[in-house]
Amino acid sequence: MLKPESFPIEKIYVPVKRRKALKPDVIHEIAESILEIGQQAPILIRADEDRFVLVEGLHRLEACKALGETTIMGLLVSAEIAHHKAHSPQSAEVEAERQKMERLKKLRLEKEAAEKVAASPSIVTAAESARVLEQRNRLTTTTRQSGRRTSASKPKTLSEWRAQQDRNNGHY
């Protein structure tokens, strides 16, 4: 199994074809997510003489650049894996969209519960409250299992996040 490593962003070449697929709103959303919870999925790169070529993770790379980072977590893959990934329909953007939808569903459920309580607190039954809380707890558990943190103190950069993780894990 490959182990994520830190790579200098300036040495990562993005093929012209990939650059055309940039979506600024996705970059912004991923940058916010990285500030909140850190980089969860490493990018994929392959070696090419004195540089690296991006295989997967364009929006994560651009988000880290936008945050002023000089390095990014990545996996160094072989040219064979890079070729397979280039023709694979599954991508990090699909995973990011899935996580976004999960967050939106959780927020919607919380909003619905708050609206019910605000509209008529005496009509909301104990069973309805329990059902909404159960759904919220299930989503919270799923979110936490996927590595999300709900800490009140949010790091401003990926470097601060990494330092916070090291402190939390006892690696001073």
- Both 69 and 116 in one domain: the answer is no
Coil, helix or strand for 119?
A: helix
Query: Which structural domain range is residue 138 located in?
Result: 93-152
- Both 13 and 64 in one domain: the answer is yes
Tokens of 159: 């470097």
Q: Along the 172 residues of the chain, how does pLDDT read in single tens digits?
A: 678 899 999 999 998 888 888 889 999 999 999 998 889 899 999 998 889 999 999 999 999 999 999 999 999 987 665 555 554 545 555 666 667 777 777 888 888 888 877 776 555 566 676 777 777 777 666 555 555 544 456 777 777 877 887 887 776 5
Rounded to two decimals, what is the model's pTM? 0.50
- Both 16 and 70 in one domain: the answer is yes
In a domain, 158, yes or no: no
Tokens of 137: 């707890």
In a domain, 171, yes or no: no
In a domain, 168, yes or no: no
DSSP for 26-79, written as a single string: HHHHHHHHHHHH---S-EEEEEETTEEEEEE-HHHHHHHHHTT-SEEEEEE--H
Using CA atoms, how far apart are residues 104 and 98, in angstroms rounded to an integer?
A: 10
- Both 41 and 99 in one domain: the answer is no
